[in-house]
Structure 1
Amino acid sequence: MPKDPDRPRRRYVSPVREAALVATHGRIVDSAAELFASEGYRATTLAAIAARAGVSVPRVNLSGSKPALLVEAYQRRAGGSSLDRPVSDQPELQAMMALPPDEALAAYVAWLSSVHAQSVGLWFALREAAATDPEAATAFEAVERSNDDACTAAVAWAEAQGLLTGDASAEERAQTWSHLASAEPYRHLVVERGWSAERYEQWVRRAIERLVLDLA
């Protein structure tokens, strides 16, 4: 049968080649994450990322722009969640809120410590990049909104569990929780002061109990 010249050609996809491309992209993002976290945004170049990943600069460019690589690196290290996903769709937090209060708080602070351990350097790199790059600024704003939404949901959960005392507003409680859970205290206490993860988790839990749940 003669070939139809107007019929679109079917693109052949090699599973081996696709797997290799995915692996290379992952190596590039991991290399970018390590450099952004240790060197900061401005000091990290595409050439440095390429050298660490063992690829060419044009190959790095195929994986994304510098801010795009930073955003993807942060998403991977901060639990792999989309920056636009609402709290109601985040299974990790929803699973915690389904636990009894004591277990929920213990699970939460352990999760928080783990996320910061993986992503604290990238969070500061993203904040640095947001000052000059619109793409990074959009992503950073999304991170801040997501964190604020998570703390608002946490306060609502605490109220439903009958854990709140005092007359502070829900907004004040959520803002306090957001500060305690942010990257700044983690970097100051763990990275700069050398606190252990266990000590940091105990501090976060006590601070939430005293400053958020009971403000009387």
Structure 2
Amino acid sequence: MLRVEAIDAGYGRVQVLRGLSFEARAGEVTCVMGRNGAGKTTLLRAVMGQVPLTAGSIALDGQRIDGLPAHRIPRLGIGYVPQGRRLFGPLTVAENLEVGLMTRGRGPRVRERVLDLFPRLRERLSQTASTLSGGEQQMLAIGRALCLEPKVMLLDEPTEGLQPSMIALIRDTVRALRGMGVAVILVEQRIEAVLDLADRVAFVETGQVAETVAAAALSPDAPQFARYVGV
């Protein structure tokens, strides 16, 4: 389990997160929703050690991880797919996957499992990442994170700008991760995707989790969507 307790964080003098508390449980998909600027991406970056905390704590399976250097966090089993993918563009598909495998010392077995999930990547192992389509780049970004065999997976709007067939594939991947017992944190703005995938929805407003609701208790016209997301 990933537990975030009353964290404050931001950028210089700009405070973004204000006493935010949150948890992600193994084998569940927790969707994080909120308006632009509410603090969703900053929450993920704080978990990854990319934004330092000024208060509060973050723990993975009871072990505090806040304060660790950012490069140590993935080694503990937290995968992160940021907006924009952040691939190594000049490297091939195979080399990008190798970077993920090296992070936690994983080998061919894990690589094959990832390629079974994304057969299109197997066809493009020698192709440079920058020449892939947007959907293929998103597959590679997720695949690279899966090479860590993560306990927790952070996905920041992974379906943004993709065609329906790619969106469906990524949704299937999220379901597969849940079935593997991974705790998935999904930042998503599409209500239909959230209701289809989520076990719980955390609504973020002005740097705090204002409300966490079981997805089964929400409908497309639930007031929380209008109140916190503006749709």
Q: TM-score, normalised by structure 1?
A: 0.25
Which has the larger helix fraction? 1
| Larger of the two Rg values belongs to structure | 1
Q: TM-score, normalised by structure 2?
A: 0.24
Which has the larger strand fraction? 2
